[in-house]
């Protein structure tokens, strides 16, 4: 128990990746004796208190009738818009990326009065936001606030790096200017309206074409050094990298008996809580992987009852991912930032099938650094997937390189580093207030 108990409020985006990242950091702080409050979205009700946190939840839209699964809004959104994922990334800017920003900003507008009431009730010493869009109440409350970037670090712009959401290579600038111009064309009007809302709410103006501020106090981004980008200009002194942030709240896992002693490698398949909502894609993956000589643990996702697994597989709607990845030989993933960094944390090669947002950037980064293979999610041939599996499993040098990288990442203990920085910020604030 610390000799000075702080109150720390977390507001993660209503998706499993950011929320699980905050859960991992929050648990370290809670074990140190601090009061940890989650102002998560209302569908997370009852899921955070059992972990030792207080819940003071927000509605991002008018409450639905009946209970919803955690993050249900985004599951429904992705299910309805899945055809957009077949488009090139530059075409997704107008038909997918902009509508996502609009939905996020609509949520920020809707919850602003409620969020101010929560902050007045909780009276936090530190506010931690793991989100991609601004919530003016967090910025204007008065407590120091921390921004966490648990997306691919291209979100932190640099002219020498590819544009975020593009999935373009780092060593070839072809298409960069065109992509940036299209982003401005499709997002300028939305940014202007958002900036007007932010200023009217009493917050500083947003940086040009950005939907969130950089914190003047502390900014954390989640990405291992071994995969990070080489910038043309260093980040400012308020920025700190977390090589990983792997929660320790997952249940222990034993390999199911019918997979335990089987032939072939053990492989984990997860398209995340959102990507797995594309049932047709999940069915195709099951069909292709069923014909390989390997065993699979499958995170089936929120529509688990709509497709069956093959005999060489086991899975459920939700599985304890961070207890499973250490046991497998290979990860097949959508390239969500948490799954990507967790695979690095445990030193596992990846096959990445990106769907949306920064997943293309993670897929490209994994491939261009030689840590795995990027495939066309909807256009791959059966032999491409099965061949990639065999090549990665046979690459002993890669497996050894990733194992060493994982040891370094784990030794840096990103959760404890984040907790140390947040704790120090809260204590400085207390000292200044005396």
Summarised one tens digit per residue, pLDDT across range 197-209 is 999 999 999 999 9
181 pLDDT above the threshold of 70: yes
Express each pLDDT in 7-53 by its tens digit. Answer: 999 999 877 778 888 999 999 999 999 999 999 888 888 888 998 89
Q: State the pLDDT at residue 75.
A: 61
Question: Would you place residue 66 in the very low, low, confident or very high pLDDT band (cuts 50, 70, 90)?
Answer: low
Q: State the pLDDT at residue 44.
A: 84
422's enclosing H/E stretch is helix 414-433
279's enclosing H/E stretch is helix 279-289
The 10 Å Cβ neighbour count of residue 175 is 17
Q: What is the mean pLDDT of residues 73-90?
A: 74
Question: Would you place residue 1 in the very low, low, confident or very high pLDDT band (cuts 50, 70, 90)?
Answer: very low
Third-level CATH fold of 7-247+412-433:
Rossmann fold (3.40.50)
Question: Would you place residue 78 in the very low, low, confident or very high pLDDT band (cuts 50, 70, 90)?
Answer: low
CB of 231 within 8 A of CB of 158?
yes
Express each pLDDT in 309-341 by its tens digit. Answer: 999 999 998 888 889 999 999 999 999 998 999
Task: Tell which residue, 304, 336, 308, has the closest CA to residue 317.
Answer: 304
Task: Tell whether the torsion through CA atoms of 91, 92, 95 and 97 is positive or negative.
Answer: negative
Sketch the domain layout of the chain as residue ranges.
7-247+412-433, 257-411
Percentage of residues of the chain with pLDDT beyond 90? 73
d(CA 45, CA 299): 22
Q: What is the chain's percent helix, strand, coil content, to nearest 5?
A: 45, 15, 40
300 pLDDT above the threshold of 80: yes
List of residues 6+ apart from 189 with CB closer than 8 A: none
Q: State the pLDDT at residue 275.
A: 79
| 3: DSSP letter | S
Express each pLDDT in 117-164 by its tens digit. Answer: 999 999 999 999 999 999 999 999 999 999 999 999 999 999 999 999
Domain 257-411 in the same topology as domain 7-247+412-433: yes
The mean predicted confidence, pLDDT, of the chain is 91
pTM score of the predicted model: 0.92
List of residues 6+ apart from 25 with CB closer than 8 A: 10, 128, 245, 415, 418, 419, 422
Sheet holding 372-374, edge to edge: 313-316, 295-299, 266-270, 330-333, 350-352, 372-374
71 pLDDT above the threshold of 60: no
257-411 CATH? 3.40.50.2000
Express each pLDDT in 251-290 by its tens digit. Answer: 788 888 889 888 899 999 999 877 788 888 999 999 999 9
CA–chain centroid gap for 185, Å, is: 27
Express each pLDDT in 358-368 by its tens digit. Answer: 999 999 999 99
Question: Would you place residue 305 in the very low, low, confident or very high pLDDT band (cuts 50, 70, 90)?
Answer: confident
Express each pLDDT in 217-243 by its tens digit. Answer: 999 999 999 999 999 999 999 999 999
194 pLDDT above the threshold of 50: yes
Q: What is the mean pLDDT of residues 60-78?
A: 64
70 pLDDT above the threshold of 60: no
Q: State the pLDDT at residue 193.
A: 97
Helix residue spans in 123-175 (DSSP H)? 136-140
């Amino acid at each position: 128990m610390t000799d000075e108990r702080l109150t720390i409020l977390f507001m993660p985006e209503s998706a499993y990746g950011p929320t699980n990242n905050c859960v991992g950091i929050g648990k370290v702080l809670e074990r140190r004796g601090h009061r940890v409050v989650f102002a998560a979205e209302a569908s997370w009700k009852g899921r955070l208190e059992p972990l030792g946190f207080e819940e003071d939840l927000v509605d991002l839209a008018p409450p639905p009738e009946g209970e919803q699964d955690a993050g249900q809004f985004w599951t429904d959104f992705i299910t309805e818009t899945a055809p957009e994922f077949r488009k090139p990334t530059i075409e997704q800017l107008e038909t997918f990326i902009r509508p996502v920003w609009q939905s996020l900003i609509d949520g920020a507008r809707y919850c602003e009065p409620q969020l101010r009431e929560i902050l007045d009730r909780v009276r936090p010493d530190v506010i931690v936001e793991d989100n991609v869009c601004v919530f003016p109440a967090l910025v204007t409350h008065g407590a120091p606030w921390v921004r966490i970037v648990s997306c691919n670090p291209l979100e932190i712009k640099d002219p020498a790096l590819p544009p975020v959401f593009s999935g373009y290579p780092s060593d070839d600038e072809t298409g960069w200017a065109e992509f940036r111009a299209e982003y401005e064309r499709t997002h300028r009007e939305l940014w202007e309206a958002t900036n007007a809302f932010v200023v009217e709410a009493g917050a500083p103006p947003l940086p040009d074409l950005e939907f969130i501020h950089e914190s003047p106090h502390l900014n954390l981004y989640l990405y291992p050094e071994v995969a990070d980008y080489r910038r043309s200009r260093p980040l400012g002194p308020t920025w700190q990298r977390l090589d990983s942030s792997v929660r320790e709240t997952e249940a222990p896992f034993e390999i199911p008996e019918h997979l335990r002693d089987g032939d072939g490698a053990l492989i984990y398949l997860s398209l995340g809580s959102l990507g797995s909502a594309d049932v047709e894609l999940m069915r195709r993956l099951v069909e292709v992987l069923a014909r390989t000589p390997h065993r699979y643990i499958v995170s089936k996702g929120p529509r688990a009852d709509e497709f069956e697994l093959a005999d060489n597989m086991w899975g459920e709607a939700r599985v304890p991912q961070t207890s499973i990845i250490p046991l497998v030989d290979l990860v097949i993933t959508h390239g969500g930032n948490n799954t990507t960094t967790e695979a690095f944390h445990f030193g596992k090669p990846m096959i990445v099938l990106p769907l949306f947002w920064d997943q293309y950037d993670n897929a490209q980064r994994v491939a261009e650094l030689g840590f795995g293979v990027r495939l066309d999610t909807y256009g791959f041939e059966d032999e491409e997937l099965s061949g990639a599996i065999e090549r990665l499993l046979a690459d002993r040098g890669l497996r050894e390189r990733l194992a060493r990288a994982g040891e370094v990442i784990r030794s840096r203990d990103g959760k404890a580093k984040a907790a140390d920085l947040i704790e120090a910020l809260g204590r400085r604030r207390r000292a200044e207030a005396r």
